[in-house]
Structure formats: structure tokens, C-alpha cells
Amino acid sequence: MPNQGQIRPVVRDDIPAIKMVVDATLFPADLLDGMIAPYFQADSCTDIWLTQDDGGKAVAVAFCEAERMTQGTWNLLAIGVLPAHQGQGIGTRLIKHLERMLFQRDGRILIVETSGLPEYAQTREFYRRLGYVEEARIREFYASGEDKIVYWKSLKPDR
């Protein structure tokens, strides 16, 4: 049976392990410092950084923030699981945990975006399996020939 681990807020000591996660799955690790700095610097920061802990080590990360000028709309900006831990349901558990947290904070909807390139087909299917609906496609957004696809989900438990 796969390790269920513990989903918890990210702490500073997680940064080296989270850099490994993002470098292996999302983006160059050197971008993480600028993204996560506000989370540690301001008590008023509403950003949410979660990790899946496996024996004291972060093996996954999820990051979302409230959308400016909206009421209850959140944007999942990053979610990644170390390749050796993929396929064990960690990403699903992270998103479901996040959805419950956001709903308890009066969140209404969660959006997430990804690339329209063929190599992201599995990512798009992952979101669809979790009940996310393709809401928008912006052609050529990331680069020539690379669309941005935006998925949407209501956070109401009955949907």
C-alpha cells in the first residue's frame, strides 16, 4: 500500500526538498525562492503552500493564491510530485485537501492552468478526472504553438 504521508503547510526547512520537486516536475528550482518568499515574510500573506510529507521529507508541493479583484476565487499555480512518488494518489490527495481548505475559507472556485502541448495530455486528464472543466483556451499564450488551457471547478461540496 502506498505511503499516505501527511499533508501539511510548508515550512522553511522544506525548501531544499521542494526545490527538488519543482526542478523535477514544474520549473527551474531557482525560481522558487522568489515565489515562496512572501509566504514566509508577511503574516498577512494569504498564499497557501502545502506539502506531502513522507518520513519527514517533502515529496510533493501545491501552491495557490487568491485571485485579485474576486470574491472566493483561487488559482492553483503549481502542483508537483517527485517522479518516484507519482502514481500513488499524492497529487489527488493534495488537491482534495486544498479544495476542502479553500471551501472552509469561503472559497467558491478554484482555477488551474496548463499547457495545451501533447506532452501535457496526462496533466489535463488528471484535472478532468478530479472534476475540473476546461473553461478557456488562449491560443499561442506560452509560445508559438503552445496554448494555455484554463480549468475551473466549483468548491461547493455538492458539485
- Cell 503574516 sits on residue: 43
> For 6-154, CATH number?
3.40.630.30
Q: Does the global pTM surpass 0.95?
A: no
Q: What is the pLDDT of residues 52-84, one digit of tens each?
A: 988 888 999 999 999 999 999 999 999 999 999
pLDDT beneath 70, residues of the chain: 1-4, 158-159
Domain map of the chain by residue range? 6-154
